[in-house]
Amino acid sequence: MSEYIIQTNNLTKQYGEQKSVSAMNLHVKKGRIYGLLGRNGAGKTTTMKMLLGLTKPTSGSIKIFGKSMETNSKDILPHIGSLIESPGFYPNLTGTENLRIFAELRGINKSKCVRDALEVVGLPYRDKKLFAEYSLGMKQRLAIALAVMHNPNLLILDEPINGLDPIGISEMRSFIRELCDVHGKTILISSHILSEIELLADDIWIIDNGILLEEESMKELAKKNSRYVNFMVSDSQRAAEILRTEFECDDFQICDKNRLQLYNTTIPRAEITYVFVKQGLEITEVYLCEETLEDYFKRVTGGEGIA
C-alpha cells in the first residue's frame, strides 16, 4: 500500500471558463492533521468535495488508502467521516433521530454509536429538541458527531469550528488532537481561523485561486519563518556601527532613525544591550519578533488577509 492516505495527481475542477482547482498534487500521510488554508473561493471546499466524490474532477486523479477513488468509492467512503459546508440534517427530527437514520444506513450498532458520538460532542442523547430548533453551535456539534460516529480512519472537516463558542472550540481542538494522537486518525481540516490551524495542524496547505502554493509541515514552517530582534534606540545609525565593529555582524536592517531590526538572533540580547548602553545609546525597547502563520499566509498569497 502507498505511504500516503490521500494522493492526488493534477487534480483540476473547472466550471465553465473558471478553474476552481488547478492541477493540485496533494500528499497526506497517515496519523497527521492537515490544515487547509485559503481565502473564500480559493478552492478548499471544492477540493474536499472532490476527495469525497461529491463533485467529479474535470481532470486528474485521486487515490485514497492507495485505491483509485473513481473506481473504488464504495470501498473507500465508509472509512471516511466528513463535514462539508453547513451541517445538513432533517429539521423535523431530533439530533438522536437524525443520527439513528445515518447509523441505520451505515449498518452500525445504532444505540451505542449514537450515544457515544453525542457524548463526545457534548449533546444530550434522546433529547426532544428538534434539529430545526438547534443553535448554530449545536448543529455544528451534531455534524461532527455524524462525522465520527462510524469510527472512520480519515476525517475531512470543512470549517468544523464555525459557530462554536470559545469553550466549544477548545474542546473540539482537544478532541481532534486526541483522535489523531491517540487513535491514529488522519484529519484534513479547513478553517478561516489561522490561529486554530496553527494550534492544531501538523502540516499546512495554502491554496489561492485554486492553486496549491505551499505544502509544508508546521515544523519546517517554523524554521522558515523569519525571526529578528527589534531595537528602539536613540540613534539607529550609531547602533549599526556598534554591531559591525563590536559584534562583526551585518545581518540587520535600519528601519528608521530609532528602529533597527537584527536578524542574527544568536547573539545574546543582554550583551548587545550592555554594549549599546556603555557606548552612550539610550534604549527604549528590545524584543524578539517572530513571523506568525498569518504573516506567512499574507506573504505567500501576496494578500491582505484570509477572509
**Chain positions contacting other proteins, by CB under 8 A:** 49, 52-56, 73-74, 77-78, 80, 82, 84-86, 88-93, 97, 100-102, 104-107, 130, 146
Nearest Cα to 1, choosing from 106, 59, 76? 76
Sheet of 211-217, strand order:
80-83, 154-158, 186-190, 33-37, 203-208, 211-217
Distance from the Cα of residue 189 to its chain's centroid? 6
Q: How far is the CB of 153 from other proteins (least distance, A)?
A: 14
289: how many CB neighbours lie within 10 A of its CB?
A: 13
User: Measured from the CB atom, is 22 or 45 closer to other proteins?
Assistant: 45
Contact by Cβ (8 Å): 33, 176:
yes
The residues that bridge with 285 in the sheet, in sequence order, are: 232
User: Measured from the CB atom, is 56 or 223 closer to other proteins?
Assistant: 56
User: Measured from the CB atom, is 42 or 239 closer to other proteins?
Assistant: 42
Q: How far is the CB of 55 from other proteins (least distance, A)?
A: 5
Interatomic CA distance for residues 307 and 244, integer angstroms: 43
Question: C-alpha grid cell for residue 168?
Answer: 466549544
DSSP state of 78: G
Nearest Cα to 281, choosing from 249, 242, 250? 242
Interatomic CA distance for residues 118 and 96, integer angstroms: 8
Interatomic CA distance for residues 154 and 178, integer angstroms: 14
Q: How far is the CB of 90 from other proteins (least distance, A)?
A: 6
Q: How far is the CB of 43 from other proteins (least distance, A)?
A: 15
User: Measured from the CB atom, is 146 or 293 closer to other proteins?
Assistant: 146
Q: How far is the CB of 92 from other proteins (least distance, A)?
A: 4
Q: How far is the CB of 196 from other proteins (least distance, A)?
A: 23
User: Measured from the CB atom, is 39 or 49 closer to other proteins?
Assistant: 49
User: Measured from the CB atom, is 33 or 155 closer to other proteins?
Assistant: 155
Q: How far is the CB of 256 from other proteins (least distance, A)?
A: 50
User: Measured from the CB atom, is 31 or 53 closer to other proteins?
Assistant: 53
User: Measured from the CB atom, is 78 or 238 closer to other proteins?
Assistant: 78
Interatomic CA distance for residues 292 and 191, integer angstroms: 16
Question: C-alpha grid cell for residue 25?
Answer: 498534487
Q: How far is the CB of 150 from other proteins (least distance, A)?
A: 9
Nearest Cα to 53, choosing from 4, 22, 13, 16? 13
Q: Is 259 left (phi over 0), alpha (psi -120 to 50) or beta?
A: beta
SS3 content of the chain, % helix, strand, coil (to 5): 40, 30, 35
